[in-house]
Every structure is written in structure tokens, then in C-alpha cells.
Amino acid sequence: MTANELRRKYIEFFVKQCGHKEISSASIIPENDPTVLFTTAGMHPLVPYFVGEPHPAGKRLTDVQKCVRTDDIDEVGDMTHCTFFEMLGNWSLGDYFKKEAIEFSYNFLTLPDEKGGLGFDIKNLAFSCFAGDSDAPRDDEAANAWKSFGISDERIAFLPKKNNWWGPAGKTGPCGPDTEMFYWTGEGSAPKKFDPDDANWVEIWNDVFMKYNKTAEGKYEPLAQTNVDTGMGFERTFAILQGKKSCFETELFTDAMTKLRILANYEKTESNLKSERIILDHLRAVTFIMGDNLGVTPSNVDQGYIVRRLARRAIRHGKILGINENFTDKIAEIFIEVYGDYYTELQKNRERILSELQKEEEKFANTIVRGEREFQRILPEVFEKKLDTIPGDVAFNLYETYGFPIELIEELAKEKSLKVDRKLFDEEYKKHQDMSRAGALQKFAGGLADHSEEVRKLHTATHLLNKALRQILGDHVYQKGSNITAERLRFDFSHPQKVTPEELAKIEAIVNEQIKANLPIHFEEMTVDEAKNKGAIGVFDAKYGDKVKVYFMGDFSKEICGGPHANNTGDLKSFKILKEEAVASGIRRIKAVIG
């Protein structure tokens, strides 16, 4: 059975044999739920319909939903964990409940191929049901339904809420007990008794009986409408059907794996398997997230940050495999091939996926080289002091100054048998976040969209521009506002009239000269008075506290500023003014780009 055949088979079974309507996968980026970054389960986009909203397609629905979960990201690399996965689902919105849901599941699992089922032998199946607690009773009803199909008591385990209860993680809303279905993947015939702790029993499907609403106070109230939410793990079921130990050995991954091994030019060994799986898992996820119609591109916030983190981790593991060229787009291309028939949005958004990956790989190549070098630099001191942990502020400095992701710092540390003081790192991070948030509120007093490399460079360009304006127009020029995104800078300043094209050309030329001069950039902390005496420009009021940071760009510019900046003016490559205009009486605005 091919992957497409399994998807079709599931949908057809529920449409033709159980009266469901097929709906298409919702976006992987939740459209109406700002509390989570991704669609994490098939039920997620349907929540409004569980609480009473009528669904246009009716009360019985079935679909294949694209999902992303990032909470298990550290587990990826083993046989079963995937960041991106597909969930096959059938849904009852206030229609059928426990007995029918279990009957449908049982039939789809066990009916022979010609009757539309998977043809699993019940000897290889086991089940778990909710054991009951003070919130809800033991689910004998579910167990009895399984037993009515000839399942023995020994193959049914009753487990607590931790295992057999489902609701959107840690949140309020619809939830309920579930029953889970397991398939024996071990050697030889399955043991008579089901042991849920034996990893050879792989969970493949979960039927949730949504009967409760969890309130903000943690109470479980009965829902007005009872629903069924089921999720069959597509990858796991497919691996079983193909007789493979893991989905990484199925047609979903084999072409990409072959390509990866050609790129790495090595013979397969066990120790590489983990890196290979991480690379393939992460790049597949990135392909789907960027290939979604609401797709996002790598950045330092929200979904974009996850994309960046996944892509960068894949790139680093590529280095571990000895791949020295850019490769992520080559792997993504294969996933677009493998999945593009079913998920046509991947074909449609192909150019975006590939070009964004190329860009990200280039950006990260520079960051890795710098970050690893700086990491090596901190080691002697750590070892000298006989520390087993890299101090949090040292790690934060690597992150903040070099953009080196904390996850990579931790991985490098682990390779040296060191830990990272994550608690202190997180504290520093939070402090810094609060500061940037405060900065974001006062849009025109710092105004950086984020601290990405592009934004830093444009921030540096702003200082050069500020100084050049003063040189050409005069000392009456003061910064009145600044707003910087990764694409452009916007700088407002005091000046009574239009800046002429000749003046603009001179200003632009001065900035470009300073870029060509490759001026080193550094900052020093000093009191406001010291800064004034050194001739620094900037806002001198007390809000900076006693000490201020002064950024120096060679001898050309000295300015009071919180940072961050590029390391060298040469990083900016070139500078171009796009526009000069008035924003208010006596205030002009320049928009400019670099590179």
C-alpha cells in the first residue's frame, strides 16, 4: 500500500461505510487561535464545532490533517518521533458516540482489504481505556465495546488521566476520556497480556470521547454536545503496513534519505542514524510550514523562529555528517516531490520554500562559524575553573552577541560533557525580552523589529546616516525617530527643508565610504558626562540610568545607544537611500536599504 492509498482508504471507509463527509486539511498555522503556533492535532481546527457552532459539511466529518508538534523536539532522532505528522481523523459533532466510534475503529482496523479495512489480525492488537478518577468514572463502556468484538480482558489496560484523557494541552475547553489502540511490532507473536510499558506495542489510534468542558478553575463540566475526536497516526500506521520498524524507512523518507547519504558521501553507520533522522524530520517540517498557504519564513519570532530553529538544527547535523555544501533545499525538493501530489500547496509554493532555505543556510553558515569559534574560546576558562556547567550569562552572551542559538550551545556543551545553566540563561533572556518589549512600546526610541542580523546591520547604517546628515546638513540635525525592520531602515530627523538630491547623494556617498572602510564596531559603558565629553551624540536624559552604552564605529561615529549592532561596518556591503520626505513641520524622514 502506498501512502496515498492509505490516505484514500481511510477517507473512503468513513465516507462510504459510515456516512462521513470529507473535509480538507486546515492550515498548519492556526487561523483563529493566537495561543498556539501550530495546528497540533486534527481536532484543533474543529474546536468551534465541538462547542456548538454548526459545521457546513454536517455532523460526521473525516480528514487528513497536517500537524506540527514541537514539544517533543528533543526526542526526534528515535524511531517514532516526528515534528510534522499527518493525522487521519473521523469526527462526530454531537452525532454518534462511544459505541459506534469503537465499532468504526474496530472495522477499519480488522476488515480485509476488499472490504475497505486494513486487515490487521486482532492477535496483534491491544487497547487502553480510562481508569477513572474523581473527575470522571472508569470507562467500562469503552472496554465492553471492545470486548463485544472478541477482545480479551488481558488485552485491555485501564490507565489514568496521564495516558487516557485528551484535551488541548494544559488548556481549558472540550476534553474527555479516550481509548487507544496499539499494534504489536515486536519479534515473534504478541504476548497474551498487554503491557503498555512495552515499547513494542505502538500506539496507532486514539478515540476521544469528548464529554466534558474543562473550566478555568480546573473543573470538568458536562458539555452540552458530546463529540468524538479520533486521530490515527498516519506515519506509524503506514510503517506497520509496509512492514518497517519506523516511518523513516518508508517511501515517505527513503528518497530523501538516499539523497542525504549521497550528499554526505559516506557509508551508513548506526551513529549517523540519529543525525540523519533529525535532518530529514526537521526539513520535512520546514517544507510543510513554509509550503503552507499561510506559510511563514524564517525569522526571530513566533512560527518563523521555529522554522529557523528547525532549519538551523538540520544544517548543524548536516555538518556532523560531513556535508560541506548547501543542502537543505535539495532535501526539501525531494519532499515536495514525494508529497506534492497530495499536498499541492507544496508545488505551488515551491519557489518560496527553496529560496528561503537557501537564504537561511547562507545566513546560518556565517553564524555557525562565528558561534563555534566563540564557543571554543570560552572553553579554556570553563575547564580551568573545573566547572561542569557553562554559566548562563556566558551562554547568553554567545546567543545575544553572535546570534548562536541556545539549543546549539547546549548541543556543543553536551559533546564536551558540559551542561549549560539554563536557568540563568532564561533569566537573562527574559530580562532582555522585557527590555525589547519596552523598546517596542516606544516605537520611536529604539524601534528595532527584532535583533536579527539584518536588523543589526540596518541599525548600524542608521548611526552612519545620522552622522553623515550632521556633516552635510549641520549640527541642528537630531534623531527624532527610528524604525527598523529586516528589510529597511526609517529615520526621522530635524531639518527645516527638503534635502536636495545633491545633498542626498553626498550623504549616501559618506555612508558608503564608511562601509568600505570596514570600521570595527564596539561599545563602552560610561556615565552620561563622560559620553558628552567624548563627543557622543544621542539622547542624554536620565532614562538610561547612570551608565550608558556608547557605540563606536571607528572614529567616525560615537552614539549613545542600547545596541545591538553589526560587528563591522563592512558587513553592511552598501547603502542606498530610497526616499526622502516630510513627516511633520521641521521633521524629515529617510527610508534606506543596505546590501
Interacting residues toward ligand SER by CB under 6 A: 41-43, 89, 166, 206, 208, 229-231
Compute the chain's Rg from CA coordinates.
29
- Which CB, 65 or 460, lies closer to ligand SER? 65
- Which CB, 94 or 231, lies closer to ligand SER? 231
Output the smallest distance, CB 37 to ligand SER, in A.
Answer: 16
DSSP 538: S
Neighbouring C-beta atoms of residue 567, cutoff 10 Å: 16
Instruction: Report residue 354 as a C-alpha cell.
Output: 527553496
DSSP 577: E
Output the smallest distance, CB 230 to ligand SER, in A.
Answer: 5
End-to-end CA, the chain? 51
Output the smallest distance, CB 217 to ligand SER, in A.
Answer: 23
- Which CB, 105 or 452, lies closer to ligand SER? 105
Output the smallest distance, CB 171 to ligand SER, in A.
Answer: 13
* Closest to 184 (Cα-Cα) out of 196, 167, 166: 196
DSSP 41: S
Contact between 177 and 209 under an 8 Å Cβ cutoff? The reply is yes
* Closest to 120 (Cα-Cα) out of 199, 9, 229, 21: 9
* Closest to 560 (Cα-Cα) out of 543, 575, 573, 577: 543
Contact between 288 and 84 under an 8 Å Cβ cutoff? The reply is yes
- Which CB, 227 or 299, lies closer to ligand SER? 227
Output the smallest distance, CB 203 to ligand SER, in A.
Answer: 9
Output the smallest distance, CB 180 to ligand SER, in A.
Answer: 8
Output the smallest distance, CB 15 to ligand SER, in A.
Answer: 18
Output the smallest distance, CB 40 to ligand SER, in A.
Answer: 8
- Which CB, 208 or 449, lies closer to ligand SER? 208
Q: How far apart are CA 237 and CA 246, in angstroms?
A: 10
- 3-state DSSP assignment of residue 186: coil
Instruction: Report residue 97 as a C-alpha cell.
Output: 458516540
Output the smallest distance, CB 224 to ligand SER, in A.
Answer: 20
- Which CB, 227 or 303, lies closer to ligand SER? 227
Angle at 495 (CA atoms; ends 490, 500), nearest 5 degrees: 80
Beta strand pairing call for 156-159 and 125-130: parallel
- Which CB, 207 or 453, lies closer to ligand SER? 207
* Closest to 511 (Cα-Cα) out of 475, 456, 556, 448: 556
- Which CB, 43 or 93, lies closer to ligand SER? 43
Q: How far apart are CA 293 and CA 344, in angstroms?
A: 10
Q: Which residue has the cell 506515519?
A: 235
Cα-based distances in Å from 469 to 474, 479, 499: 7, 10, 10
Half-sphere exposure of 40 (CA within 13 A, CB side): 13
Cα-based distances in Å from 169 to 36, 165, 166, 230, 512: 10, 11, 8, 16, 52
List all residues 6 or more positions away from 53 whose beta carbon is below 8 Å from its beta carbon: none
- Which CB, 41 or 306, lies closer to ligand SER? 41
- Which CB, 41 or 257, lies closer to ligand SER? 41
- Which CB, 143 or 228, lies closer to ligand SER? 228
Output the smallest distance, CB 592 to ligand SER, in A.
Answer: 49
Angle at 527 (CA atoms; ends 521, 532), nearest 5 degrees: 75
Output the smallest distance, CB 207 to ligand SER, in A.
Answer: 7
Half-sphere exposure of 471 (CA within 13 A, CB side): 15
Neighbouring C-beta atoms of residue 63, cutoff 10 Å: 26
Output the smallest distance, CB 41 to ligand SER, in A.
Answer: 4
- Which CB, 25 or 230, lies closer to ligand SER? 230
* Closest to 554 (Cα-Cα) out of 467, 447, 451, 433: 467
Instruction: Report residue 383 as a C-alpha cell.
Output: 575547564
Q: How far apart are CA 472 and CA 432, in angstroms?
A: 36
Minimal CB distance residue for ligand SER: 231
- Which CB, 36 or 378, lies closer to ligand SER? 36
Output the smallest distance, CB 178 to ligand SER, in A.
Answer: 7
